[in-house]
Chains A and B, each alone.
Chain A
Amino acid sequence: MSVITDPPQQGFRISQLLYDTRYRSMTIQIIALIGFLVAFGWLINNTLANLAALGKPLGFGFLWEPAGYDINQRLIEYNSQMSNARAALVGVLNTLLVAVLGCIAATILGVLIGVLRLSKNWLVSRLMTVYIEGFRNVPVLLWILMAMAIFIEIFPQPRDFRGEDPVATMKIFETVAVTNRGVYLPGPIMNAGSGVVVAAFIASLVAIFFFGKWAKARQEQTGQILPTFWIKLGILIIPSMLIFFIMGKPIGMEVPAIKGFNFAGGIYMRNSLIALWLALSLYTAAFIAETVRSGIMAVSKGQTEAAAALGLRPARTMNLVVLPQALRVIIPPMISQYLNLTKNSSLAIAVGYMDVTGTLGGITLNQTGREMECLIILMAIYLTISLIISGVMNWYNERVKLQER
């Protein structure tokens, strides 16, 4: 190896900033930063100048003033005298509610449809194709509006349930009322002693979890397989039921009944929630189904055949061989579908569901005239939710990723 002598040292020249690759990237970065800051500063400067000219300096004090309006669906206590911030919080919870419900329903539906689309049954697989193409190629806003219109136009109004010979009757043993204002479901009534039952139920859930771990460890050590499903089901039901009867049936069921203009009692799911939930999950399910289908098809046939050669039964092949591999393909696009669903839930505003866009970005914005502040907070909230979802899902993705060794 020959030793390369250092080139003769020269003093630093300005032109090196442009022509010397060591410095050029630095120059470009600094120019970019300055350009960015100037542009950003220009925007902020304009904004402040404009707001000042209108006499509306930026301020968040309005958040603590009474909101003045009522919200129909609230998961926490709220009335019109509470602050705008509280109203926004009610909205955030409503957003999260519909997003979580939607993600669960979309996943179940999507997996089902994706699998059915691969079915050998000609009719079923064609129907699923029609479903997928139909839902994917029409705007989700239209689906939401149509779901709401179906609810309003087709189902009976609560008034029809009244009288000697009502036009409409309650479904499923007279416990569920489906009206055009929403669905009234029977709800639990907690009497004294119900806490014990609930505690027992939670305890059995914990027991199931540890039993599962123990059974798995045992299988890995001894190779013996327990009928875990039946044992788990037993643990889930038997102790809770026993305690339920021992304590003298402390948990009752409250059936909704018509009272005044509406049904009262039980659980009330508003039509805006159901329409939004339904439309979002049906729409997203179409996308998830495609993801699932391509995920399953991505697992090579040799894997299934090898599993069969090892003597694994079809169900175990699916659980232990195909699904873990398909999941790696399915999960990343699934994350973006969940994100899309959450973001699309902001279309709640079209059916009057009071999510955060409806409260903070809707009524509060209209009533206080603080567009700038409201929209900044609104975007920050959505950004946080999105980042949390993608963070959690990426963490999960890391876990199920193929361990390359």
Chain B
Amino acid sequence: MKKSTFIGTVAAATLAAGFAAAGTLDEVKAKGFLQCGVSTGLAGFSNADANGEWNGFDVAFCRAVAAAVLGDSTAVKFTPTTGKTRFTALASGEIDILARNTTWTFSRDVDLKFSFVGVNYYDGQGFMVPKALGVSSAKDLDTATVCIQTGTTTELNLADFFRSNNISYEPVPIETNAEAQAQYLAGACDVYTTDASGLAATRATFENPGDHIVLPEIISKEPLGPLVRHGDDQWADIARWTLNALITAEELGITSANIKDAAMSAGDNPEINRLLGTEGNLGEMLGLSADWAANAVAAGGNYGEIFERHIGEKTAIGIARGLNAQWTNGGLLYSPPFR
């Protein structure tokens, strides 16, 4: 009887196995939900609440893609991934898209064979220190003990930065943000370094955020973006243009509040009309319905709304738009036109 169970389970598993040979879009439509890889828990970007509902900036992007493809922003299943498992999960087809504040680098794009579909957050690596330490620049950190989250680009940047400035330091690699935070707060390390957004998110959860400062040096460029597998251009296009749609929607002033009216019938602005599918056939070109972008924006609002809701200045995380403002406001967000 015991052996039978084993074979039975394997058989059942094989039955459940999908076949990735078909295009990702068809596959997602066939199974009726999007499988999205997120981080195991980073306040503001993705974390599960007491009911197991996922929330956050990265999560919102997945929901927008699900809304664009399936018309239902709740048709997403989230797979929590660690720094180690994220790329294999995507490469093996376990997830359809990875939105886990992942830095777009040459080797990840070219060597690991992924397509980054854009940048949803411009970030850079920074340092946080307790005010009591009396440090005002990262160059003063000689002999300091530095907590780093392992499995990210930060530990390479850190090694480069300290080596080029000829500063000695003691790295303490840590698996999770929660653990890093505990060590930093207890003074087991002098400095905590990670992406500036992560620092802000972490600092926000402290009892006395005012006791800690983020040093002015930003030692790297960290364009964070969602990514998909190489080799399925249609799927990459869908992800890319969903992101662009969210950005363009903000630029054109379409919000979750007014999208219903705007999508009802064609208006005066031809780009809005093309975006929302009341004019032209952009949706059809992507293999989606005409109102795909309208659905994506309706799911969680435009880029600006998502930003403000999860990580903006009104939230506990309190990140200013900065580089992530629209290009019209001096930021770097610049979506190609919908034409």
What residues of chain A have their CB less than 8 Å away from a CB belonging to chain B? 54-56, 68-72, 79-81, 149, 151-153, 157-160, 180-181, 259-262, 264, 271-272, 349-350, 352, 354, 358, 362-363, 365-367, 369, 371
Contact = CB atoms under 8 A, between A and B. Distances in A.
The 10 closest A-B pairs by CB, nearest first: A157-B187, A260-B143, A80-B159, A366-B151, A261-B144, A152-B186, A369-B112, A68-B156, A352-B173, A180-B188
Contact of B88 (A79, A354, A371): A371
Interface string B155-172: 110111011000001111
B84 A72 contact: no
B175 interface: yes
A376 to B, nearest CB: 15
Contacts of A369: 87, 107-108, 111-112
Nearest to A349: B175
Interface of B: 83-84, 87-88, 91, 107-108, 111-113, 132-133, 141-145, 150-152, 155-156, 158-160, 162-163, 169-175, 182-183, 186-190, 230
Contacts of B189: 181
A260 B150 contact: no
A139 to B, nearest CB: 17
Contacts of A80: 159-160, 163
B187 A69 contact: no
A149 B169 CA distance: 23
B159 A68 contact: yes
A264 B143 contact: yes
Contact of A55 (B107, B113, B143, B173): B113
A181 to B, nearest CB: 5
Contacts of B174: 352
A261 B145 contact: yes
Given A54-B91, A68-B156, 7 more contacts: A70-B159, A71-B171, A152-B182, A159-B187, A260-B142, A261-B190, A362-B173
Nearest to B91: A54
Contact of A157 (B150, B182, B188): B188
Contacts of B83: 366
A54 B92 CA distance: 9
Contacts of B158: 70
A350 B163 CA distance: 27
A363 B88 contact: no
A79 B169 CA distance: 12
**For B87, B91, B158, which residue has the most chain A Cβ atoms within 10 angstroms?**
B91
A394 B150 CA distance: 39
A55 B172 CA distance: 34
Given A54-B91, A349-B175, A366 B159 contact: no
A298 to B, nearest CB: 34
Nearest to A157: B187
A259 B143 CA distance: 8
Nearest to B172: A352
Given A80-B163, A363-B173, A366-B150, A181 B113 contact: no
Given A55-B113, A153-B186, A369-B111, A363 B145 contact: no
A70 B171 contact: yes
A146 B255 CA distance: 48
A209 to B, nearest CB: 41
A363 B172 contact: no
20 contacts: A56-B112, A70-B155, A70-B158, A70-B159, A70-B171, A72-B173, A80-B163, A149-B182, A151-B188, A153-B182, A158-B187, A181-B145, A261-B143, A262-B144, A262-B145, A271-B188, A354-B173, A366-B151, A369-B87, A369-B107
Contacts of B87: 369
B144 to A, nearest CB: 4
Contacts of A56: 112-113
Given A152-B188, A261-B145, A352-B175, A362 B84 contact: yes
A371 to B, nearest CB: 6
A152 B189 CA distance: 10
Contacts of A363: 150-151, 155, 173
Nearest to A361: B84
Contacts of B173: 72, 352, 354, 358, 362-363
Contact of A181 (B88, B156, B169, B188): B188
Contact of A367 (B91, B141, B156): B156
Contact of B132 (A55, A70, A159): A159
Contacts of B144: 260-262
A56 B114 CA distance: 12
Contact of A69 (B132, B155, B188, B190): B155
Nearest to B147: A352
Contacts of B150: 352, 358, 362-363, 366
B6 to A, nearest CB: 15
Contacts of B186: 152-153, 157, 180
Nearest to A62: B111
Nearest to B112: A369
Nearest to A69: B155
A259 B108 CA distance: 40
B87 to A, nearest CB: 6
B303 to A, nearest CB: 29
B172 A69 contact: no
A366 B132 CA distance: 35
A180 B223 CA distance: 35
Given A180-B188, A369-B87, A152 B183 contact: yes
Contacts of A151: 188
Nearest to A153: B186
A226 B207 CA distance: 68
B95 to A, nearest CB: 15
A367 B113 CA distance: 14
Contacts of B108: 369
A328 B174 CA distance: 43
Contacts of B91: 54
A72 B171 contact: yes
A69 B172 CA distance: 12
A264 B172 CA distance: 17
A327 B313 CA distance: 68
Nearest to B153: A367
**For A71, A151, A260, which residue has the most chain B Cβ atoms within 10 angstroms?**
A260
Contacts of B171: 69-72
**For B113, B133, B141, B188, which residue has the most chain A Cβ atoms within 10 angstroms?**
B188
A349 B83 CA distance: 13
Contacts of A81: 163
A112 to B, nearest CB: 31
Contact of A362 (B151, B169, B170): B151
